Amino acid sequence: MRFNPMTLFRERLWIQVVSTLALILVAAFGITIVLSIRSQDKSLHEQSRISSEMLSASIEGATFDALGAGRNENVVRQLHRLKERMPSLEASIFDFNRSITFSTMAAATGKELDGFLLNPAAAAAVNRMLADGKDTGELFDETIDGAAYISIFKPILNEISCHHCHGSSRQVLGGLHVRTSLETAVQL
């Protein structure tokens, strides 16, 4: 007589009940794990968005007054110091033609912003931002050399204090791009 698991399964009610309960438990644990991962990812992105917005506001506060006074060398020094203290941070100020004017990456200055954007949706968002001057607060995920980063963009509007250098005809002068590493947060 041969052992047949299907016959045993059909003839024993307790095996059917335990098997069904085991499948339900595995499915419940799987769903719980997936929902936890999604929740953690959403929380990580929200915290990253808040941190990126605070960081971009800090950069804006530190550099825009110097720009308004024509002290461009101060801006260059401030961004250089920022890069020394936070090597995984990239910050670039670009004009309405998408040309990078100031950056924590010395090699980026004078080059087009699009050459440094790895997410096609980010380039489209920059187009919209330069056209309408609206800050969407969107985050853009990027992977650089296998490491996770996020980018955020903030418009630089042509305020009254800017008119002495830039005139008043243009609503948006450019923008600020801040890219931060998620590697430390992802590893936790």
User: How much is the pLDDT for 101?
Assistant: 92
Q: Write the pLDDT tens digit of every residue in 130-188.
A: 999 998 888 898 888 888 888 999 998 877 666 667 666 778 889 999 998 887 655 54
**Residue 28 DSSP class:** H
Q: Write the pLDDT tens digit of every residue in 14-27.
A: 888 999 999 999 99
Q: Write the pLDDT tens digit of every residue in 48-86.
A: 778 888 888 888 887 877 877 778 888 889 889 988 988
**Stated pTM of the model:** 0.73
Query: Could you give phi then psi for residue 5, rounded to 5 degrees?
Result: -65, -30
Q: Which residue has the tokens 């009254």?
A: 160
Judge contact between 140 and 119, C-beta under 8 A.
yes
Per the model's pLDDT, the better-predicted residue between 48 and 114 turns out to be: 114
Of all residues in the chain, what percent carry a pLDDT higher than 90? 33
Burial of 2 (0-12, 13-18, 19+ CB in 10 A): exposed
SS3 91: strand
User: How much is the pLDDT for 150?
Assistant: 87
Cα separations in angstroms, 49 against 52, 61, 146: 5, 18, 21
* Res. 126: pLDDT tops 90: yes
CA distance 80 to 74: 10
